[in-house]
Amino acid sequence: MFRIWSFSAAVQTLPDTLRQRMCVLLLHTLSHTHTTALTVNCLGVVKQMCQYSEVVCVLMSLKDGGEDPLPYQPLPLILKKLLLSAQDSLQVVSVRCVCAVLIHAPLHFSSSFIQADLPGVEPLVRSLKEALGKSNTEVQKKGLELLTVILDRQPAVVRLFPTSSEFSAVCDVIVEGVASSCLQVSMCAVRAAAVLLRPNHQSSPVQLADVRRIVEVVMSKITEHHHTRSRESCSGSKSGVLLQTLTCFDAACRLVEACVCDSSLKDGVCSAQETLDSVCVFLLHCCDAACIPAVTGVCERISSPQVLQLFLSALSRQFSLCPDHMTSFSRKLAASGFIRLTLESKAQLCSGNRNVSLNQICCDFLLKLCMCLISQEHTWTSELQDVERVLQESLPSLCCCASDWLSVLSDFPQSLRNTQHCLIYLLHLSLLHGDRFLSDSAVFCAVLRFVSCVQDLPASVLSSVLYLLSVTQHAGPRLDTVSVSVLSKALSSCPLLFSRALPLSVLSLIFLYPELSERFGAPALTGRLSEDTQEQELLELLHTNPAALLATLAVACDAESAASRSAVAVLLCFLRSADSLSISGTSDLCDQIRSVLLSVLQRHTHTDGLSVLLDVSSVIHSSAQMEHTDFRLLYHVSNLVGKLDSSDSEVLLSVFNFLYCFLSVCPPHTTDRAVSLLLGNVRLMELLEEVLSASSSSSSSLLCSSLLLLSSLTLLQHKHSAQVHRSVSVDLHQIIRRLAFSKRHTDTLLIKCSVRFVQVCLDVDTSALLCVCDAALQRPLTSIDGALHPIGHSGATSLMTALSALMLMTQDLMVSAALNCLGSLMGFLRRRSPETAQHMVCQPWMRFLLFSLLSCDQRLRPAALQLLTQLVCFSGGVSHWRTEVESVCEEIEKQGATNLTDDGTHTLRLMLTQCCALSPPDDLRMRMEAIQESLRHLPPSESSSRHMLRVGRVSVCLSDFTISTQDL
């Protein structure tokens, strides 16, 4: 035929009847052929025939020939069906045929192609939509069953729903059917939905919004059935409903997974209303909110292999659908006991080679869940492939109950080794996420027996063994010497273990036994500190395990490395949170820290760790523990100063802190020896002078520690008249100007330290150690400036004003420091110029300052009582301050002294004693004596504490900043 239609002369001679008969025969063949080759050949003839207009008219005029002896379908319908086929060759040839027809008369023939209606499910869909609106449930069931059969038997190469509107129409019917109040109709619709969600039934592009609609109504049905019929329906009925809904849900997950994995489907996803990612997250939410509660509720009464298989299959698919969300979801699954549920289901339903497909699904789910959990743990990073291989090989054969695991761990044949390792991994993951399906005591004994009998464990297995022992040791006895020796041998054979970040529980286990901590404490911490770990995580370990603090110090003092830098950061954080009393209360620990510091100083290793080690040593100082080792440390630290430069700010800060703390807590009978050693260090004096003279470029912390150290040295030199080899030049006027005019732009601690230093300068009058610069004073000196040298009258006035302002602040230490300095200033003025002192005491601002402190917080503050005492003493009598003294007496008489602090009680006693000694009026004296009598039953106040306080990087002795209670 092809050759006939290739010759135009032959075609012209064909009779019309024969031409028409040949067209009918060709359409009949195309309508009933089932082979691709014949179809292509026939289409080739059609294309050749379409060269002639009269033949095209004959082909397009032939309508449905169902009554003809040779039944056929119209050409537009045949070509349209071929366009919807899955074979590219048929689609290409049919397109060419359509084009060949439309060339002759596009306006006339195009309507025929548009109106050609493929026979399919549209009539059934319309009928079902009408039936679902009525009450005849039998018709509804039959219609949905017919739809299911059509969908199931439809050839994959021919699409039933070429357009999105047709697919959406079927979805509307199914959604309405699932929502039916009749359970049987609803289940028929669910079965139809499961078949509809096959990839071959999807229109192009895939309608994700319709897929989501179906899943939503199916999940609502399962949730509704689970809650409303949990008691009245039998387990078999519930299991049947659950099986149908899970089949549909698994089909939806399979479809979306195909869209994710298949690039051709992924490119064809309709994203106008729903994105692929949002549908994946939605499916994960359905698993969490609907499937898991329903399945676990049914499995509590009866275990259905079909239900479990579909359920675990859907859960397993979530790992490929939502990989970004599986970190938290896998933890939730493990914490909810899904490792145990899956293993128990395997033991119950898959032993003896039963339910092979279920066993495979269980293994696939467990493998994905375990590997997701393992990948989140730093301790497994380098052995992920080995762990995965062990799980893949051992999970299929692991079909024993959890109670039999202990006996498996106790067997020692080499053939069980991978299975034992698999059990160790599973126990580790379960306990890690709080799922204890075996008692801690049983796990502890079994694991300890296992590690005692099996040598050369892989690092991942040994890590899991240590974790299991560390979290279950509370349920077993303390490890004996033999067990500790076994663990020590196992740790020695696996140095790779310490290259990773071990969990804190494992570190606690190591530091619990001295035999382990001495050998493996520092390597274990090195591995932990080499990772990017949170500093806060190790603080509890350092607070509860003195050996851990020593090991951290050892790591910090090693050569420069990531671990040493991390150790320094952890120790700095520890120092900010540590209580020096709690640390120094452990004498053995303090002795060992001193030994470590002494060893480092003797090696002359100057690292960041040395700075931190000095800071730790500063915290542990206490006078009760001062011994020969401390003075050896002082000697070496003093020598260290000689090798430092003012640019070594970090080490210099730690050295100044150490020296200041040493002097602050040194017993009185040894301070002369300590201060003589330091005053003989000329380089130390030079560094103090360089730091203070370059105050604008030095750090605030370094300035603070310099002022505190120089204050202590000045007081002790004055007390013991120690020999000075080099004085320190200080610009006292610059410090006073800082207090008077730059308070808002100066660090608070620096202000306190500056006040403390000025106080010491005023107390000692003149010092061989200090060379105070007086360049700010006018030349020649006036008589008043000469009397008040080196601060002069203007310096004294500025200092008085600055101290008054500081005493109005809310910080107790600041108020105490300012008040002590004010007392020293008034004493200095009374010694040098009594008239000036009397003038300043009687100024109106002093009364305002006292009024402000007395009325603050509606309570008597020690600062207010101490200021009143100073004003009374320096003014020479009570008469000028009688109103304020009577106010204090009235407050004490009304409120009593029981609500005062120890400092407040002691300051009150001092004030009453001073006032009574200055011949007050008789009535006031009697009131004060009565109050003194009422204070005698109160316990005596404790002496000022030598407690060291860490403020940032600076160590501060509290006694330097508490209110002075010495007689004035």
Inform me whether the pLDDT recorded for 276 exceeds 80. Answer: yes
pLDDT tens figures, 618-634: 776 654 456 677 888 88
In a domain, 197, yes or no: yes
Q: What is the pLDDT of residue 477?
A: 80
Is residue 407 very low, low, confident or very high in pLDDT (cuts 50, 70, 90)? confident
In a domain, 250, yes or no: yes
Partners of residue 948 on adjacent β-strands: 957
Q: What is the pLDDT of residue 409?
A: 85
pLDDT tens figures, 570-621: 887 777 666 544 555 456 667 777 777 777 777 755 566 677 778 877 776 6
Is residue 533 very low, low, confident or very high in pLDDT (cuts 50, 70, 90)? low
Residue 885 is part of which domain span?
Answer: 858-937
Task: Please tell me the total count of domains within the chain.
Answer: 4
Torsion, Cα 826 827 828 832, to 10 degrees, reads: 100
3-state secondary structure 582-609: HHHCCHHHHHHHHHHHHHHHHHCCCCHH
Look up residue 686 and give its two tokens. 């030079």
Is residue 53 very low, low, confident or very high in pLDDT (cuts 50, 70, 90)? confident
Inform me whether the pLDDT recorded for 199 exceeds 70. Answer: yes
Inform me whether the pLDDT recorded for 695 exceeds 70. Answer: yes
pLDDT tens figures, 748-786: 999 999 999 999 999 998 899 999 887 677 677 788 888
In a domain, 699, yes or no: yes
Contact status, residue 829 vs residue 863, Cβ threshold 8 Å: no
Q: What is the pLDDT of residue 841?
A: 84
Inform me whether the pLDDT recorded for 33 exceeds 50. Answer: yes
Burial (CB < 10 A; 0-12, 13-18, 19+), residue 810, is exposed
In a domain, 481, yes or no: no
Distances (CA, A) of 318 to 244, 252, 372: 20, 12, 12
CA 515, CA 520: separation in Å to the nearest integer? 9
Residues 26 and 143 in one domain: no
In a domain, 171, yes or no: yes
Mean pLDDT to the nearest integer, 712-737: 93
Residues 807 and 923 in one domain: no
* Cα angle 298-302-305, degrees, rounded to a multiple of 5: 95
Q: What is the pLDDT of residue 234?
A: 46
Last-in-domain residue among 115, 138, 165: 115
Q: What is the pLDDT of residue 228?
A: 63
Residues 835 and 965 in one domain: yes
Residues 749 and 804 in one domain: yes
In terms of pLDDT, which residue wins out, 500 or 180? 180
Inform me whether the pLDDT recorded for 363 exceeds 80. Answer: yes
Alpha carbon 761 to chain centroid distance? 51
In terms of pLDDT, which residue wins out, 644 or 1? 644
Burial (CB < 10 A; 0-12, 13-18, 19+), residue 474, is exposed
Residues 799 and 883 in one domain: no
Last-in-domain residue among 64, 83, 115: 115
Residue 320 CB neighbour total at 10 angstroms: 15
CA 4, CA 688: separation in Å to the nearest integer? 115
CA 470, CA 510: separation in Å to the nearest integer? 9
Mean pLDDT to the nearest integer, 688-698: 85
Residues 225 and 304 in one domain: yes
Mean pLDDT to the nearest integer, 97-120: 78
pLDDT averaged over every residue in the chain: 84
Residues 866 and 897 in one domain: yes
Is residue 872 very low, low, confident or very high in pLDDT (cuts 50, 70, 90)? confident
Inform me whether the pLDDT recorded for 115 exceeds 80. Answer: no
Inform me whether the pLDDT recorded for 95 exceeds 80. Answer: yes
Contact status, residue 863 vs residue 815, Cβ threshold 8 Å: yes
Contact status, residue 904 vs residue 862, Cβ threshold 8 Å: yes
pLDDT tens figures, 383-400: 788 999 999 999 999 998
Residue tagged 């000028």 (tokens): 880
Inform me whether the pLDDT recorded for 18 exceeds 60. Answer: yes
In terms of pLDDT, which residue wins out, 285 or 476? 285
In a domain, 774, yes or no: yes
Residues 16 and 40 in one domain: yes
Residues 785 and 870 in one domain: no
| CATH number for the domain harbouring residue 309 | 1.25.10
Last-in-domain residue among 267, 293, 321: 321
Residues 891 and 828 in one domain: no
Which pTM does this prediction carry?
0.68
CA 70, CA 818: separation in Å to the nearest integer? 117
Amino acid at 364: D
In a domain, 83, yes or no: yes
Q: What is the pLDDT of residue 299?
A: 77
Most confident of 74-88, 218-232, 442-456: 442-456
In a domain, 587, yes or no: no
* Cα angle 75-204-222, degrees, rounded to a multiple of 5: 125
Residues 172 and 264 in one domain: yes
Helix-strand-coil percent breakdown of the chain, rounded to 5? 75, 0, 25
Residues 787 and 933 in one domain: no
CA 798, CA 791: separation in Å to the nearest integer? 10
